[in-house]
Structure 1
């Protein structure tokens, strides 16, 4: 690490940013405006998160029987169909019978028992890419879209994590939000399956980091006592975005139309260059004191607050001059060298990665399977998304009272037991399967919502997005595997539920190995992050003497 970075870290360690955030008043005009701007990016991210659930959804299709119909036939259920196709399952979609007498009308014909593989299909709906790109009986190609989508997320997160920590949260957010709008819109003009999946990868590569960047910007705007409310607020926005996604998909059911309606508006996020301020915490941690002071003074004016004399003294002090440092501190190394030299941070990084793998694997696995439940797929999806509100509200009520560790431990355990129990439910009790399914979805949503905050609190400011991005990147292994679970269920019906449950129970056990972060300030340095477990890190400043608005959004 350079002398400048060394000096900046010392300045971050001495400047009390939590007290500053409290003094600015966390629910006044400046903050509410920024909450609104950031909420729009989170809402947009929810529209794109798993769009393949509907855009690459399965549709009813059957073999074309050339002896009985023309290749351009549009009649999906002619009278002779049941005699020409096998009884059910995959064979009915991928195999057919031929009439014993080709000269006889198919309406009264007798068909052979020998099955032939189909080479043409008739689709009941052209709303998804399955019909558009003729993916009949190629289920692996359909599910591969979700896997490619999540591989893009895996690649994206470390890249944008580095951009965020190196050049700023604001730049990373704007870049991610606008690129996903530009690249995603190109999917509507795909002329082949191969073109579609390539653009799907590039879109996710560009846009997967929008939510992490928005989350970190939001949490760094607040003091430690409002982090839970931040997580709940963004969780509700994600639910609203998920419900809107399903309603838009139902309204604009043709996949090309949906893309052209949903993606282009994201180009408007370019205006955030002028509307959204950079993270004050990030600016101070990087030594950009003049830029930070300018934003702070703007916030003071908009919020009509007065900073304490101690804070004003710190802000007005001349910036530390790194040229005065004669020798580079041998203990100060590059970011990843610091991490590698810290067994505590390395252990946390490994544990957090498994938490994220579990969250993405179970969360997306259950969401993907929801459209396969009986009934309207859009209604089912909205039901599964709606129950997430229970998890978000529960977190808001208990995380600041019970603590992060206990809450997440219970969430992982309940999820694991619910998913495991599904395996033992008799088929005569489908309602019980649905109940356990929803309980598992609520629990994993609670864990996913809380793990963002908990992971952020375990790592220091100057490396927070990079390390959070690393955990999230490794976690995408779970979401890469999740789209393949419906295929696995074809061969071993009970195995996906067991895998979901086992992963959650292991994650719950690992929760016992990390420190509680309740009532601790966000660490600014590696050393402070290491000291969380020993409680040597400075507590958050008292708020009794600070004038602020405690109203809830």
Structure 2
């Protein structure tokens, strides 16, 4: 029963995040992608802090589950309150629905739609329909396998995801082994993620995606490796390096969502981002074994 429940929790829970991210960036537009990353990162931190507080308030796991999971039923209301992706509607030929969403957005922002804007939407629809027909004829993965560039990017991105999820969740799991109250430590490790997403917001557009990712990986790797050489008499330094490492890997994990989505064609973005996320779960599967490495 535990395995069955975990399976459905992943299907209906964690695996929906890539879809939610794609929907968010398609609703907000290209110039708001960094803002989207920052906002979603802060919301994830707030969710994690809430989880830690509830775990502390309801230590018995059955009570904890009864308190935590029922509110997720409210997400069904998103069907009525959250607009569909305009790009997806256009790709399916549902031009009228897409125009209604654009008109509603224009009204809320007090903007008047010009005839040129409406004409561009119609043109986009025609172009997208051509792409969709081509995709249906050839198949997405046939197109991917025929492109060495896309295959190379897919392999590199998948390795990024495995690395990020392994270190990210491994550090989160190990946070309870730090000195002090385990709930406080968990919340502290989560809180520093806000620093990471804010740094990303400042750097991603200024120095580029690749440099930001490389810096994040190097900072994380250096900090985690340096902990080994900290003497037992200086636990505060080990904790500080631990938090710096968590900031670095959070930066990387946050950044690869945006970078991965930008490296692939629009019509394949969701599928290939989902594929990378799926392969990345190898890292999260191995992460719980990280505490065992302490013995080696």
- TM-score bucket of the superposed structures, by smaller chain: over 0.9
Q: How far did residue 393 of structure 1 move? A: 0.8
- Cα distance, 1:259 vs. partner? 0.8
Partner residue, 1:230: 36
Give the total of aligned pairs.
294
Given candidates 338, 354, 366, the residue that maps to 2:159 is: 354
**2:86 paired residue among 273, 280, 285:** 280
| Mapped pair 1:479 → 2:284 | yes
| CA distance in structure 2 between the aligned counterparts of 1:217 and 1:318, rounded to whole angstroms | 18
User: CA deviation digits over 1:2-25, x for unaligned, max 9?
Assistant: xxxxxxxxxxxxxxxxxxxxxxxx
Q: Runs of 5+ in structure 1 lacking a partner?
A: 1-194, 493-553
Aligned residue for 2:218?
413
Q: Which residue of 2 aligns with 1:307?
A: 113
Rounded to whole Å, the distance in 2 between the matches of 1:330 and 1:394 is 38
CA contact (8 A) 2:103 2:113 kept: no
CA contact (8 A) 1:332 1:338 kept: no
Shift of 1:316: 5.3
How much has 1:223 moved relative to structure 2? 2.5
SS of aligned partner of 2:180: coil
What is the CA–CA distance in structure 2 between the aligned matches of 1:398 and 1:227, rounded to whole Å?
13
TM-score, with structure 2 as normaliser: 0.92
Residue in structure 2 matched with residue 196 of structure 1 by the alignment: 2
Aligned to 1:298: 104
Does residue 449 of the first structure (1) align with residue 254 of the second (2)? Answer: yes
CA RMSD of aligned residues (A): 2.4
Q: 8 Å contact 1:282–1:462 — kept in the other structure?
A: no
Post-superposition offset of 1:330: 11
* Counterpart pick for 1:366 among 155, 159, 171: 171
Q: Which has the higher contact order (CA 8 A, sep 6+)?
A: 2
Within a 5 Å distance, the mapping from 1:452-471 to structure 2 comes to: 452-471=257-276
Q: Distance in 1 between matches of 2:122 and 2:163?
A: 46
SS of structure 2 residue aligned to 1:371: helix
Give CA deviations for 1:105-155 in whole Å, capped at 9, x if unaligned. Answer: xxxxxxxxxxxxxxxxxxxxxxxxxxxxxxxxxxxxxxxxxxxxxxxxxxx
Q: Distance in 2 between matches of 1:404 and 1:308?
A: 34
Change (3 A) 1:432 1:334: same
Structure 1 runs (4+) deviating above 4 angstroms are 316-323, 328-332
Q: 1:483, CA displacement in angstroms? A: 0.3
Deviations 1:408-442 (A, max 9, x none): 11000111111122222222322221111111101
Q: Is the 8 A contact 2:90 2:128 kept in 1?
A: no
Structure 2 residues not aligned, in runs of 5+: none
SS of residue in 2 equivalent to 1:220: helix
Deviation at 1:321, TM superposition (A): 11
Partner residue in 2 for 1:140? none
Per-residue deviation at 1:198? Answer: 3.0
For residue 293 of structure 2, the aligned residue among 469, 473, 488 is: 488
Alignment of 1:175-190 (within 5 A): none
The structure-2 alpha-carbon separation of the partners of 1:296 and 1:259, relative to structure 1 and needing over 3 Å to count, comes to same
> Aligned partners of 1:204 and 1:315: how far apart in 2?
36
Partners of 1:321 and 1:330 lie apart in 2 by 13
**Which structure: greater helix fraction?**
2
Q: CA deviation at 1:486?
A: 1.3
CA–CA distance in structure 1, aligned partners of residues 11 and 225 of structure 2 = 34
The alpha-carbon distance between structure 1 residues 199 and 355, as it changes in their structure 2 partners (threshold 3 A), is same
Look up the SS of the partner of 1:387 in the other structure: helix
Residues 164 and 249 in structure 2, CA contact (< 8 A), matched pair in contact too: yes
Cross-structure match for 1:345: 150
Q: CA deviation at 1:215?
A: 1.2
Cα distance, 1:221 vs structure 2: 1.2
Could you tell me how far 1:394 is from its partner in structure 2? 0.6
Following the alignment from structure 1 to structure 2, what is the Cα–Cα distance between the partners of residues 216 and 482?
A: 26
| 1:263 counterpart residue number | 69
CA shift in 2, pair 1:196/1:288, >3 Å: same
For residues 384 and 321 of structure 1, do their structure 2 counterparts lie closer, same or farther at Cα, with a shift above 3 Å needed?
A: closer
**Partners of 1:385 and 1:356 in 2: CA distance:** 19
- Match of residue 435, structure 1, among 240, 243, 247: 240
| Equivalent pair of 2:178/2:239 in contact (CA under 8 Å) | no
